[in-house]
């Protein structure tokens, strides 16, 4: 096979594999809106199916605290939590506000609907997309 074609194939595959935002749009957006401030959430709560992703990301970062803060380790731990939660959501370890759990119920499991690469990409996106963007 032509080497350029092969290289382009590998390149586009890896670009695709890393498109966390695309995975979010396909698999999460129908429930988690990307950006919304607290006041609008309260006003529009009836139209929402889940906490906005900006809130999810901020809550996990606030709640998952390492004894010895290390940004890279923390990012990895939060990403691992998100990847796990996609397949095994559970009321016992949801970090959602109780009010939100009451309102929305527990997230349904998406087991079997995302590949390992897609879960990794979307979890990284959830972490990185909201760096420096607080939910308020
Ligand atoms: C059918 C609706 C629905 C879809 C689709 C959905 N979620 Fe959720 N998700 C929820 C609800 C409802 C909650 C809040 C209750 C809870 O924590 O389980 C939630 C909570 C979460 C949490 C927070 C857990 C915590 O402890 O605070 C994460 C992380 C999450 N979702 C990630 C995702 C990702 C990533 C996707 C796409 C791959 C996704 N969700 C798709 C409904 C959904």
> Cα–Cα distance between 46 and 55 in angstroms, integer?
17
**Buried/exposed code over 69-94 (b: 16+ C-beta within 10 A; e: otherwise):** eeeeebbeebbebbbebbeebeeeee
Report how far ligand 1's centroid is from the alpha carbon of 50 (Å).
Answer: 7
Look at ligand 1, atom 15, and give the residue with the nearest C-alpha. Answer: 106
**Cβ–ligand 1 contact at 78 (below 6 Å):** no
Scanning the structure block, which residue is given the tokens 């607080």?
134
User: What pLDDT tens digit does each residue of the chain (136 aa) get?
Assistant: 667 666 666 555 555 556 999 999 999 999 999 999 999 999 999 999 999 999 999 999 999 999 999 999 999 999 999 999 999 999 999 999 888 999 999 999 999 999 999 999 999 999 999 999 999 9
- Scanning the chain, the segments in alpha helix (DSSP H) are 3-17, 20-27, 38-44, 53-63, 71-87, 98-104, 116-129
Q: Which atom from ligand 1 is nearest to the alpha carbon of 123?
A: 35
> Cα–Cα distance between 31 and 50 in angstroms, integer?
5
Report how far ligand 1's centroid is from the alpha carbon of 16 (Å).
Answer: 23
For the chain, the residue count is 136
pTM more than 0.85: yes
Contacts of 44 (CB under 8 A, 6+ apart): 36
**Cβ–ligand 1 contact at 110 (below 6 Å):** yes
């Amino acid at each position: 096979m032509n080497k350029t074609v092969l290289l382009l194939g590998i390149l586009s595959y890896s670009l695709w594999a890393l498109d966390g935002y695309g995975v979010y749009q396909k698999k999460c957006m129908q429930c988690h809106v990307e950006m919304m401030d607290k006041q609008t959430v309260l006003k529009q709560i009836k139209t929402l199916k889940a906490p906005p992703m900006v809130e999810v990301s901020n809550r996990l970062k606030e709640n998952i605290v390492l004894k010895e803060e290390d940004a890279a380790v923390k990012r990895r731990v939060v990403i691992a939590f998100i990847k796990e939660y996609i397949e095994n959501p559970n009321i016992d370890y949801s970090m959602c506000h109780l009010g939100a759990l009451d309102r929305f119920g527990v997230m349904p499991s998406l087991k079997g609907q995302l590949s390992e690469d897609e879960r990794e990409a979307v979890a990284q996106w959830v972490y990185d997309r909201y760096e420096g963007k607080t939910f308020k």
